[in-house]
Amino acid sequence: MNIVKSLLLGSAAGFVAISGAQAADLPIAKADPVEYVRVCSTEGAGFFYVPGTDSCIRIGGRVRAEFGYSQPQNTAGVYATGNGRRQDATGFRARGRLDVDVRTPSDYGTVRTFIRFQIDKNSGGLFGTDNGALLDRAFIQFAGITAGRAQSFFDFYANDLNYGGSLGSDTNTNLFAYTATFGSGFSASLSLEDRNNRNVNGTVYDVAGQRLPDVVANLKIDQDWGSAQLSGALHQLNSATVYLPWAGQYPTWGQRVDTTYGFAVQAGAKFNISQLGKGDVLWLQAAYADGALGYLGLGSQTIGRVNSIAADGVISNGDIKKTKGWNVLAAGVHYWTPGLRSTLWGSYTDVNYSSAVKWDNSAYRDFNLLQAGTALIWSPVRQFDIGVEVLYRRLENNRNWADLTTPYYIKRSEDQFQTRLRVQRDF
């Protein structure tokens, strides 16, 4: 019996030894490494590495909901009544925005690609009827170069605090630009920008095709106290119209209207006034334009029965007579608490046509536009705003000599109040 047990135990031990040796010879299967999302702290908050690359990406956006009331206006003649009943007094806006910001390091600096896609659904006269999708911004930045659709390099304040109204130039446009940095916060930019995006034509002449983009330049400084910028723009005015001087008409043959050039200059400063409250800011800005009213943030204006045509230039006696204008603005924000702030802002714009233009056609009147407003905004959590704004606008035409023949049908000025309720979440 002992012999049998010894044989069995020996056989078992040999089997285990052989099995262990064979198992040791087999390859060990390992799981594929898992690459977790890593925070990209070098590019700032919200950036993370795209797995498998050295690029950093940030995905953000905005949802905005607005309700607005605009004082109805009577746009009919002085003896007509009730036309204001045809206008919407209230309106709504829903806006969705998606931002994608991708940055990749290189031997020549960071390569940045940015896209902002926006979709609007508007109703009511206050917000208009521009519904649908919009490529708001799409540009590449590399080694000082900016190419694509971006904020104009002329702009500075760019309606930073106000909900309604247009206080000055605030334009996204197609451009090619180069920015040089000099240290100590100084930089300078030169930009070629889409002229057609800045044309202010009214109904005055047949604008020829773009032959020269707008040339924009700025000099900027950023410091602890705030920032300041000096901007300039050159704007071409050309016409496809052919002028026949002895007939006073514009047929398809005759003398071509000469091309001319307009310009605009702007100076602005932004002051951090933390002495009054953390986050408090004051903006001051002034601009002048000669044949380039788009750089004042202007288009034709209508309030009630007062209609003001805005045009870069008007053809008179075979020449394009440029229109001049200027604009000043001030805007500020004060934080009463970290979650409660108020804004106060105002602007005044003045437009003047050439004397020859006003003599030829009384439709082109000098005019001025006053805008002022205030808002109270509560942020219960970070990047979430609930605000209400009240806006006052006054449009005034200066009478021409021809207006005096029909004084009862010409209304010189009109006032309007608007208010907006806005709920906005950025992410």
Q: 251: domain CATH number?
A: 2.40.160
The reply to whether 328 and 266 lie within a common domain is yes
The reply to whether 320 and 179 lie within a common domain is yes
Structural domain range at position 125: 37-72+90-137
In a domain, 77, yes or no: no
In a domain, 78, yes or no: no
- Name residues whose C-beta falls within 8 Å of residue 9's C-beta, 6 or more positions apart in sequence: none
Can you tell me the distance from the alpha carbon of 166 to that of 68, in angstroms, rounded to the nearest whole number? 16
Question: 121 with 93: CB under 8 angstroms?
Answer: yes
In a domain, 32, yes or no: no
The reply to whether 399 and 369 lie within a common domain is yes
Mean pLDDT by runs of 10 across the 427 residues of the chain is: 47 47 53 71 90 94 96 59 69 97 95 97 84 94 97 98 94 98 96 96 74 97 97 93 56 68 98 94 98 94 86 87 96 97 98 86 87 98 97 88 55 91 97
Query: Of 137, 155, 172, which residue constitutes the final position of a domain?
Result: 137
In a domain, 284, yes or no: yes
Strands 214-223 and 226-237: what pairing? antiparallel
Six token digits for residue 217: 């330049």
Domain count, the chain: 2
In a domain, 230, yes or no: yes
| pTM for the model | 0.86
Can you tell me the distance from the alpha carbon of 400 to that of 388, in angstroms, rounded to the nearest whole number? 39
The reply to whether 176 and 229 lie within a common domain is yes
The reply to whether 420 and 287 lie within a common domain is yes
Question: 237 with 210: CB under 8 angstroms?
Answer: no
The reply to whether 110 and 184 lie within a common domain is no
The reply to whether 132 and 217 lie within a common domain is no
Q: Which of 196, 46, 67, 194 is CA-nearest to residue 127?
A: 67
Can you tell me the distance from the alpha carbon of 427 to that of 415, in angstroms, rounded to the nearest whole number? 38
Can you tell me the distance from the alpha carbon of 394 to that of 417, in angstroms, rounded to the nearest whole number? 9
The reply to whether 220 and 324 lie within a common domain is yes
In a domain, 82, yes or no: no
The reply to whether 313 and 351 lie within a common domain is yes
Question: 108 with 141: CB under 8 angstroms?
Answer: no
In a domain, 413, yes or no: yes
Specify the pLDDT at position 74: 67
Can you tell me the distance from the alpha carbon of 88 to that of 128, in angstroms, rounded to the nearest whole number? 10
Can you tell me the distance from the alpha carbon of 320 to that of 206, in angstroms, rounded to the nearest whole number? 11
In a domain, 10, yes or no: no
The reply to whether 324 and 288 lie within a common domain is yes
Q: Which of 231, 253, 233, 232 is CA-nearest to residue 244?
A: 253
Q: 10 Å Cβ neighbour count for 407? A: 10
Can you tell me the distance from the alpha carbon of 351 to that of 325, in angstroms, rounded to the nearest whole number? 4
Six token digits for residue 296: 């004042």
SS (H, E, C) the chain: CHHHHHHHHHHHHHHHHHHHHHHHHCCCCCCCCCCCCCECHHHCCCCEECCCCCCEEEEEEEEEEEEEEECCCCCCCCCCCCHHHHCCCEEEEEEEEEEEEEEECCCCCCEEEEEEEEEEEEECCCCCCCCEEEEEEEEEEECCEEEEEEECCCCCCCCCCCCCCCCCCCCEEEEEEEEEEEECCEEEEEEEECHHHCCCCCCCCCECCCCCCEEEEEEEEEECCEEEEEEEEEEEECECCEEECCCCECCCCCEECCCEEEEEEEEEEEEECCCCCCCCEEEEEEEEEECCHHHHCCCCEEECCEEECCCCEEEECCEEEECEEEEEEEEEEEEEECCEEEEEEEEEEEEECCHHHHHHCCCCCCEEEEEEEEEEEEEEECCEEEEEEEEEEEEEECCCHHHHHCHHHCCCEEEEEEEEEEEEEEC
Specify the pLDDT at position 402: 55
Six token digits for residue 298: 């202007």
Specify the pLDDT at position 287: 98
Angle, CA of 40, 46 and 50, to the nearest 5°: 50
The reply to whether 159 and 235 lie within a common domain is yes
Specify the pLDDT at position 15: 43
Specify the pLDDT at position 347: 98
Specify the pLDDT at position 378: 98
The reply to whether 234 and 376 lie within a common domain is yes
Residue with tokens 């233009």: 357
